[in-house]
Structure 1
Amino acid sequence: MIKIEDIQNYGKQHLDSVAASATNLQSGVQAIAAAYGDYAKKSYEDTKSFVEQLSGVKSFDKAVEAQSEFVRSAYETFVSESQKIAGLYSDCAKQTFKPFEGLVGKFTPAQ
């Protein structure tokens, strides 16, 4: 027989889980937004530096060399930052759903 206290206790646990999940989600989204902002700022600064470097080049060969270096550096930075941000998304998802693990376990039939 189900007791009212059990239902109330479950409701309180569920509410606590939802609050913890929302807090974790908020923290994760803030970390992701900060990472995007840092990447955009770095990309802007690198591009600005490249344009300044390119404006001082006097030969075609040096211009091609500078552009090749910039493209290589930009690609490496993109890959690195993409992996970092993907990890933040993964961590955010894990932390967001972690509070619900205990609740799911209560309703999973024992085998």
Structure 2
Amino acid sequence: MIKNFEDMQKLGQTNVDTAMKLFGEWNKSWQVIAAEMSDYTKRSFEESTATLEKLMSSKSVEQAVEIQTSYAKRAYDDYMQQVSKIGGLYASMAKDAYKPVEKILQKGA
């Protein structure tokens, strides 16, 4: 009886340790994603502000259209790059979070 109780206690402690590792990995990953989004937002704001200044100082409609077109292309390219980067971070987060669970499953098999 005592042996079974000790085994259950060990299993409970192992599960708690695994859960803490999992939450730690998720916390780090969310911090990286939040920092990345913050940087992107800052860059995007600075780029749009600079473009607005250029638009205000444009001499002709053609020049304004050229500035706007160039900005739209850069903004789209930057957005697509950011979406790809964030997607990779989410995939990495899921993979890292699964590692402790995978170790438990391997021990059980």
Structure 1 partner of 2:26:
25
Q: Using the alignment, how far apart are the partners of 1:73 and 1:87 within structure 2?
A: 21
Structure 1's unaligned 5+ residue stretches are none
Distance 1:36 1:103 in 2: 33
What's the TM-score, normalizing by structure 2?
0.90
Structure 1 residue 37: Cα displacement: 0.6
With a CA cutoff of 8 Å and minimum separation of 6, indicate the structure with the bigger relative contact order: 1
Q: Distance in 1 between matches of 2:23 and 2:97?
A: 7
| TM-score normalized with structure 1 length | 0.89
User: Percent of aligned pairs with the same residue?
Assistant: 33
Q: CA deviation at 1:38?
A: 0.7
Q: 1:76-91, aligned counterparts within 5 Å? A: 76-91=77-92
RMSD: 1.6
Per-residue deviation at 1:4? 2.9
Q: How many residues align?
A: 108
User: C-alpha separation between the residues in 1 aligned to 2:99 and 2:17?
Assistant: 12
What do residues 1-47 of structure 1 show as CA deviations (whole Å, max 9, x unaligned)? x7333222222211110010010010011111111111111110000
- 1:107 deviates by 3.9
Report what 2:70 is aligned to.
69
Runs of 4+ in 1 over 6 A off after TM superposition: none
Structure 1 or 2: larger helix share?
2
Cross-structure match for 1:101: 102
Structure 1 distance, partners of 2:30, 2:53, is 35
Cα shift at 1:106: 3.7
Q: Tell me which residue corresponds to 2:45.
A: 44
Q: Distance in 2 between matches of 1:102 and 1:78?
A: 37
1:15 is aligned to 16
- Aligned-partner residue type, residue 76 of structure 1: D
Deviations 1:46-104 (A, max 9, x none): 00000001011011111111111000000000000111111111111111221111212
